[in-house]
Amino acid sequence: MDIGSAVGREKGVREEQLRDLAAYPTSPHFSELERLALRLADAMAGAPAEVPLELYQALRAHLDEPQLVELASAIALENFRARFNRVFDIGSDGFSQGAFCAVPARPAAMTSG
């Protein structure tokens, strides 16, 4: 999330949004579309990845098909990066040095077998 937080700030993500990321469903700092996009990201990160029809329809009320394809592909790419980085326990590179950085919850430490 280090680079994501840094790039997000450059693209207009506000500090209070980074701080409230875990509470996005009820946070006043996110628009309806932002909440829907974050719900899509959560759904796509699950195993199995299941996107409810209701969520797809709610997103289509805001986005046309090419926009939804772009959103889903960006989420998929970030999910790939996050999962890859966890395999090798890749941490921060200091992109958010001195600023708040959203950090995902980590599962119990992996043990070597």
- Tens of pLDDT along the chain (113 residues) come to 456 777 778 888 888 998 898 999 999 999 999 999 999 999 999 989 999 999 999 999 999 999 999 999 999 998 998 888 888 887 666 555 555 555 555 444 444 44
How many Cβ atoms are within 10 Å of 95's Cβ, its own excluded? Answer: 15
Structure tokens, 20: 């409230």
d(CA 64, CA 30): 20
The owner of tokens 């941490």 is 91
Q: What residue ranges do the domains of the chain occupy?
A: 2-87
pLDDT of residue 54: 98
Instruction: Specify the pTM.
Output: 0.75
